[in-house]
Amino acid sequence: VEGPRVAIIVDDGGYGGPVTETILALDAALTLSILPDAPEAEETARRAAERGFEIMLHMPMEACNVPGQLRIAMTSEEVAERIAEALEHVPGAAGVNNHAGSTFTADIEAMARFMAAIKPHHLYFIDSRTTVDTCAYDAAKRQGVRAASRSVFLDNKSSADYIGKQFAQLVALAQEQGEAIGIGHFRSATAKVLPQLLATLKEQGVSLVHASELAR
C-alpha cells in the first residue's frame, strides 16, 4: 500500500450485544482486540476472523481490577502460563496489546518476561501507552518481537464531536509521519460514528490497514 496508512484497533471486545453487532457488520480492515475473560471472547474472535478482521488479545496488566491480569511479581513461568490460557479464549489472535498496565508496562524486567512469553506464539505487540513511563516498545525490540505504539486514543470521551476530532488528528499524524495507530473501544458512541469516519479515509488518500502491517 502506498501513501499514508492508519490502523485502528477496537479494544475491549468480547461482551456481545448491539455494539459488537454494529462493529462486526463493518466492511473495513479494523483490528479487534478481545479481553480473554469476557463472556463472549471466543465467539467474538471466531466471528470476527470469519469476517476478515484481524484479531488481537487485549491482555489485562497491572494496575487494573481485572481477574487474570499480569502482575510484576509473577515469574516467567506464571506469565507464560497466563498468556497461553488467555490465547485459548481468543483463538486466531495475531497480536497483543495491553489493557491498563500502567504499572506492568513501566517495569522493564516484567516486560522482558512478557515479551519472552509471547515470542514463541509469533505475536506482535502494540503498546497502548497507558503511561508515559512505558518501556514496552524497547522491551519488544530487545526480544526481537515486532511492535508499534498507539498514536491516538479515539474515544476517551463518548461524544461524536470528540471522536471526530481525534480521528482527524490520527489522519493528520498519518499524513505527516506516513503511518499512525488509533485505539477506540467497543462503545455505542464509537460504533455509531466509526462508519462515517472510515468513509472519509479514501478521499484523504489514507489507507486503513491491520495493526500487524505497522508492527516492525
Based on the number of CB atoms within 10 Å of its own CB, is 27 exposed (0-12), middle (13-18) or buried (19 or more)?
exposed
Assess contact for 55 and 92: CB atoms under 8 A: yes
Per DSSP, 202 falls in state: G
- How many domains is the chain partitioned into structurally? 1
Mean pLDDT of 108-132: 96
**10-47 residue pLDDT tens:** 999 999 999 999 999 999 999 999 999 999 999 999 99
| Residue 52 scores a pLDDT above 80 | yes
User: What residues make up the domain containing 204?
Assistant: 5-214
Condensed to tens digits (0 to 9), the pLDDT of residues 166-214 reads 999 999 999 999 999 999 999 999 999 999 999 999 999 999 999 999 9
pLDDT for 50 beyond 70: yes
Q: CATH number of the domain that 116 lies in?
A: 3.20.20.370
Percent of the residues in the chain that have a pLDDT greater than 70, as a whole number? 100
Which residue reads 491498563 in cell numbers? 100
Strand partners, 33: 56
**C-alpha of 193 from chain center:** 19
Report the share of the chain in percent with pLDDT over 90: 95
pLDDT recorded at residue 22 = 97
Kindly tell me if the per-residue pLDDT of 1 is higher than 70: no
Give the ranges where 71-126 is alpha helix by DSSP (H).
76-89, 108-118
